[in-house]
Chains A and B, each alone.
Chain A
Amino acid sequence: MDDLYREVILDHYKNPRGHGVIEDADAQAEGLNPLCGDEVSIYVQFADDGETIDEVKFSGRGCAISQASTSMLMEMVKGRTAAEIAELPKEELLDEVGIPLTPIRLKCALLGLGVLKVALHRAKGTPLPDEWAGLDELDLR
């Protein structure tokens, strides 16, 4: 329990990094987890090379786990390329979140990453790896 809402999670939840909207974003997607009503929108702006993530923001509402993990994701992906993020294994984010998660909460924790991959897929045609097939309960609109 004390693990689950450890200080770093609560810090990201209460002071989310990269919270906001990028107008005229280069890549954008919204996702909804119908199990609990978590909503996340992600906005990406690329650097001049058109590949490197220069700025990334998120908006939405949801539980502490979904909001904190998306906040951590924002810090993790800045400066990396779309192709790198398309291949980013979910374990890298989960390690950062660093708490044991039940299957239901796993969907919360991975909502932001799924939405980001969809945004990049739409903007750059980067692949959506098979491993996301297990997340098909997420309504990635």
Chain B
Amino acid sequence: MAVTARPASLDAQKLRADFPIFAQKIHGKPLAYLDSAASSQKPRQVLDVLRDFYETSYANVHRGVYVLSERATEAYEGAREIAREFVNAPSAREVIFTRSATESINLVAYAWGLDNLGPGDAVLVTELEHHSNFVPWQYIAKRTGADFRLLPIDDHGELRLDALDELADGVKVVATNHVSNSLGTVNPVTKLAAWAHEHGAIMVVDAAQGAPHHRVDVQGLGCDFLAFSSHKLCGPSGVGALWGRAELLEPMAPFNLGGHMIRAVRAEGTTWGELPYKFEAGTMPIAEAVGFGAAMEYVSAVGLDAIAEYESELAAYALERIAEVGGITCYGPPADRRAGIVSFNVEGIHPHDVAQVLDSEGVAIRAGHHCCQPLMTRLGVAATNRASFYLYTLPDEIDRLVDGLHKVKKILG
């Protein structure tokens, strides 16, 4: 891989002008949106593509022999090619559109897991997982009689790779997130994939939190499946993608059944279509996929290396400023090993109350378990506050978060 030069610094103030949502005030104050790990805001460039597609090119895709259907198909398949390039997949037929990263993972868990797991096998997921990469595997393991195991984290919220070997017996699936949505930990996917393959397991990566913020290269990572979604990546909600190795996807049974995923349907039986259509039953989120394509182009134009570096700087700044407040516990790894996510608790004050007071200042953060209850259990808390950043986040918004935290302590402390 070519050595990339240090990315040019990202101009968040300028990018912010692309996002119409920031034009409004919340409780009379400018919106400080610090919840991009839950979902990102959308730039005009993506919204324009959606509107233009609906106004000029919308029809159902494939099979239609008229102009509009051809146009819609071209835009939909164009988005698939953008997604292929975005994750550096060898072939666009390995890129499947889904309704979400969650559905992408369920597709693998059901369509691969049900036929390839059984008693004596084991599924290994991490203590850092979002429920989307935890619950499907726990369920399919139970259905098939396979063992379900957790790779523990250390006190920095980083995976304990030293514990891998004692969990290796019978392992068939290793599933991890690329970036933890709760703690911002950037996981060593390449190492895990190498270990998984050494032990004859497949490597499944949940990149819902990683792909919008870090360059993802499925060939470089060496994984077998990678799930990501549009809504955290400046794109519309309702669409996601799964990349999988063709040699694994081809023998897999379908996941959803219905229209478009077939080759021939007879009363005696049905045969399945080719990749990727075998896994795209029913009318897909067509315009959303086209918007997803526009979103991938948008973040690629900004530059994923620049985004990753900028967010890491924001995380370092936030950790430093939050520490100044006093009486606050921050969770997760040091700034140089985390993405733009900071989870914390204010001593003696419930996250809901923290978030509510911050909202009155126009500062939007998330308070809760972040769909990571096993992780919350490991941290010994019911919930945390989480501030998360993206390419449009300004250091000034972190200052406002800190001012808000002083107010929280004044009211509820």
**What residues of chain A have their CB less than 8 Å away from a CB belonging to chain B?**
1, 4-5, 10, 13, 34-39, 61-65, 105, 108
Given A36-B383, A37-B383, does the pair A63, B350 have CB atoms closer than 8 Å?
A: yes
- In the assembled complex, the Cα of A136 lies from the Cα of B202 at a distance in Å of 38
Pick the 9 closest A-B CB pairs, nearest first.
A37-B382, A1-B360, A63-B352, A63-B350, A37-B383, A64-B353, A63-B353, A36-B352, A5-B411
Most buried by B among A1, A34, A38, A62: A1
- In the assembled complex, the Cα of A5 lies from the Cα of B376 at a distance in Å of 27
| Residue B334 lies at the interface, judged by CB distance under 8 Å to chain A | no
The distance from the CB of A108 to the nearest CB of chain B, in whole angstroms, is 7
The distance from the CB of B369 to the nearest CB of chain A, in whole angstroms, is 6
The distance from the CB of B385 to the nearest CB of chain A, in whole angstroms, is 11
- In the assembled complex, the Cα of A141 lies from the Cα of B2 at a distance in Å of 57
- In the assembled complex, the Cα of A121 lies from the Cα of B352 at a distance in Å of 30
Most buried by B among A36, A38, A39, A61: A36
Tally inter-chain residue pairs, CB-CB below 8 A. 50
Interface size class of B (residues with CB under 8 A): 10 to 19
Q: Which of B364-407 contact A (CB under 8 A)?
A: 367-369, 376, 381-383
CB neighbours of B383 from chain A (8 A): 36-37
CB neighbours of A13 from chain B (8 A): 412
12 of the cross-chain contacts (CB-CB < 8 Å) are A5-B412, A10-B411, A10-B412, A35-B368, A36-B350, A36-B352, A36-B367, A36-B369, A36-B382, A37-B382, A64-B412, A105-B352
CB neighbours of B368 from chain A (8 A): 35-37
- In the assembled complex, the Cα of A61 lies from the Cα of B383 at a distance in Å of 11
Contact between A37 and B412, CB atoms less than 8 A apart: no
Contact between A1 and B352, CB atoms less than 8 A apart: no
**Which residue of A has the minimal Cβ distance to B412?**
A64
The distance from the CB of A37 to the nearest CB of chain B, in whole angstroms, is 3
| Residue B240 lies at the interface, judged by CB distance under 8 Å to chain A | no
| Residue B27 lies at the interface, judged by CB distance under 8 Å to chain A | yes
6 extra interface residue pairs, beta carbon distance < 8 Å, beyond A36-B368, A64-B352: A4-B356, A5-B412, A36-B352, A37-B382, A37-B383, A61-B350
| Residue B152 lies at the interface, judged by CB distance under 8 Å to chain A | no
